[in-house]
Amino acid sequence: MSLFDDQLSLFSSSSISGAADLFWGELEGEDSPLPSPIAETPLVIPQTDFRLMGTRGLATSWKDRARDNIAAIKLLDTLETEDRNATPDEQAVLSRFIGFGAGELANALFPRAGEPYRAGWESIGKELVAACNEADHAALARSTQYAHYTPEYIVTAIWDMLMKRGFQGGSVLEPGCGVGQFIALRPERLEGRVAFTGIEMDSIAARIARKLFPKQWIRHEDFTKAVLATTYDLAIGNPPFSNRLVNAADHRELRGFSLHDWFIARSIAALRPGGFAAFVTSRHTLDKTDQKARQHIAEDADLLGAVRLPAGAMRSDAGTEVVLDLLVFRKRMIGELPGDQAWLETALVPDSDEGHGPLSINRYYLDNPAQVLGRHGWAGSQFGLDYCCLPVSGVDLETALPEALARIAPESRFLLPVEQRITRPELDGLRVGTAASGADLKEGSYYLHNRVLHQIIGGAGQEVPIRKGDQKEGLFRKHARIIEALIPVRDAAKALLRAQMDNQPFGRHQHRLRQTWQSFTRQFGPINLTNITVRVNATTGEETESRRRPNLQPFYDDPDVWLVSSIEEYDEATQTARPGPLFTERVIHAPVEPEIHSAHDALAVCLHDAGRVDLPLIAELTGCSVEDALNALGEAVYLDPEASSPGRDVWVATDELLSGAVRTKLAAARDAALRDPRFARTAAALERAQPEDLRPSDITARLGAPWLPVSDIMAFTHEVEGSKNP
């Protein structure tokens, strides 16, 4: 039985509303035809989790891979329209979706505004536009910088290493799961013994993953805003590579971490003591000179070992030349002393100075050179010459990688899995998260499943205990009945507000809200029923007043309690209530989504949302590289000479740079330009913004002005009075 056999859906119909659908078309704003009472019997396909045997059989050309992507998107639309599971053959089609992160796909299918498709790609580009709606197409364009799915040989090697460390199953977290490559390649011995939680922000990838793994918990949400349990046995995956800094309000201890470091640190925090984490990540997690992220991770976990793959290890599958690291962590038991901390530091590569200074890498690789499956060297990048792990002739990565992983802490062992796994709650696809992320259910939300009261605790649903007989633990039965009756009221109100926010017809939702409210008030009276008790102190005669809300108080733990309270207008004098404006009026208007057609549009959105210039975010919003975004912005942004430091560029908008103490800024810019020629552009802009010098006659000095030194005021006073200075 589905959750929605028991309670009102947040966004769809519910059996609780009875014959509400009979009013469809009769209410204000509703003129759609009645649904047909005759429906064909749907094709029943059992839920089966896809398991990849061997490889996906990716096409050899990028054009054919693009066509496979589009075929997967079209099939997904068919499955969702027919509201059914995918057959094994359809799952094979879905599994070949690889996103559009490869340079050949991103550059050919997502041209800049006003530019044509790359020659020979016009028909494929138009087919992609036709296959998905505008929002999904924009999301695919934004995700091109992250959508680099892991090759099968890397995933298989990681699983083999974990199995040799005694992994027997349990709860597994995969942040940024894509379409679930790590889930698809799970070892056969784990079948039925492991519960995956996959979290993916891209809508199409998450929805494909749900069709591939209907028995697992695939959460379509932003991982930086997700509420997680803290008892996972294993965290595994390929976090998105990005230098974008994350400043999530809920995790201040991780503020300022790059996106991939944020994913790793947050995932390790979700592990149980003794749990393992295995990640494919950018080399910058270990190589950056700033140790902040590594030090934070080291507070809870030890790096068991790492393997560095040369550039091009993901070229054939993901179309990227990035240098990869495979990192394996173990979360320490409570009271356990930290292990080797050398991996927190970086050091210089001997004999690597080719006229640009020596290369700097993590000390772990200098102490364990066999874990580098290439050679350290210089190579060209978008930022000029930089470090690169260069391929070595004769090294077969599919053979060398398992051997290198086998050398990582062979004595380490997984704990036995706990019986209580973190499984997908029966929420029928509703998202669990925060209000800011648009989640349907939040931490503390009550809901009904199989007519049993549950509550979201630690990001997952738990049954709410009800007192029976002489028990002293749990809710009173009457309080539970009140909560069960308020749940459909809450859901009807949320559905109505969401319809108004989305600019959809909402008359039917107002009717359902009235039905659920009337059902509650018939049983228990007004939602805001208030009992006022006045007591008089016999000694002092002082009166004290206490108020109790017997119908609302049991619902206080639900984060939407005050939304429920707000829907009715309550009269304390008569203890009666009547429907509020939400029942009959439009109380909110749909927000206007900003249209982003250029880097300047993205800058405006960035300044509004983040309050600062965030180049990686601007690049994401426009679907281009940071370098291209910077070129497109032109004179709209400048390097800040006062806030920037070596290795940390801070960009500001033109109006911020050219206002305030521009003379001081100019001096700082000229000094910075001596070290970094990029600041010459900032200095030139500040020179043009310098105000004319004031003449002495233009300056009025008033005693007490804050810019006058006290010593000058004293000297002036003594001079005027003719007295001697003390």
Superfamily of domain 167-407: Vaccinia Virus protein VP39 (3.40.50.150)
The secondary structure of 533-557, three-state, reads: EEEECCCCCCEEEEEECCCCHHHCC
pLDDT > 70 in the chain, percent? 90
599-610 and 626-633 helices, crossing angle to 10°? 100
> At residue 21, does pLDDT exceed 50?
no
Of 173-182, 199-208, 320-329, 706-715, least confident by mean pLDDT is: 706-715
Residue pLDDT, tens place only, 105-147: 988 898 876 788 989 999 999 999 999 988 888 888 888 777 7
Angle at 330 between CA 325 and CA 336, to 5 degrees: 140
The pLDDT score that the predictor gives to residue 50 is 96
541 φψ region: left (φ > 0), alpha (ψ -120 to 50), beta (else): left
For residues 415 and 274, is the Cβ–Cβ distance under 8 A?
yes
**How many other CB atoms sit within 10 Å of the CB of residue 271?**
23
Q: Token digits for 538?
A: 């016999």
Tell me how many degrees the CA angle 665-668-670 measures, rounded to the nearest 5. Answer: 110
Q: Are 206 and 40 in contact (CB under 8 A)?
A: no
Residue 372: DSSP 8-state:
B
* Residue ranges of the chain assigned to CATH 3.40.50.150: 167-407
DSSP letters for 137-174: HHHHHHGGGT--PPPHHHHHHHHHHHHHTT---EEEEE
Quote the pLDDT of residue 318.
58
Which residues does residue 170 pair with via DSSP β-bridges, in sequence order? 194
Q: What's the mean pLDDT in 532-547?
A: 87
Could you tell me the pLDDT band of residue 28, with boundaries at 50, 70 and 90? very low
C-alpha dist (Å) from residue 625 to 58, 144, 244, 311, 676: 26, 10, 12, 19, 22
How far is 232 from 238, CA to CA, in rounded Å?
17
The conformation of residue 9, written as its DSSP 8-state character, comes to -
pLDDT of residue 416: 93
Average pLDDT over residues 7-23: 35
pLDDT in tens, 233-276: 999 999 988 777 887 777 889 988 999 999 999 999 999 999 99
Sign, Cα dihedral of 457, 458, 459, 461: negative
Report in angstroms the alpha-carbon separations of 606 from 463, 602, 603: 42, 6, 5
Is the torsion defined by CA of 608, 610, 612, 618 positive or negative? Answer: negative
Can you spell out the DSSP letters for 249-307? TT-GGGTTEEHHHHHHHHHHHTEEEEEEEEEEEETHHHH-S--HHHHHHHTTEEEEEEE
Query: Residue 7: pLDDT band by 50, 70, 90 thresholds?
Result: very low
Burial profile 471-487: b = 16 or more Cβ within 10 angstroms, e = fewer? eeeebeeebbbbbbbbb
**Spatial distance between the Cα atoms of 373 and 380, rounded to a whole number of angstroms:** 20
Q: Please tell me the distance from the alpha carbon of residue 487 to that of residue 464, in angstroms, as a whole number.
A: 14
Taking residues 335-348, what's their average pLDDT? 95
3-state SS assignment for residue 577: strand
Measured distance CA(480)–CA(610) in Å, rounded: 42
Burial of residue 684, with CB atoms counted within 10 A of its CB: 0-12 exposed, 13-18 middle, 19 or more buried:
middle
Q: Is 655 left (phi over 0), alpha (psi -120 to 50) or beta?
A: alpha
When comparing pLDDT for 205 and 721, which is higher? Answer: 205
Determine the Cα–Cα distance for residues 356 and 383; give it in Å rounded to an integer. 14
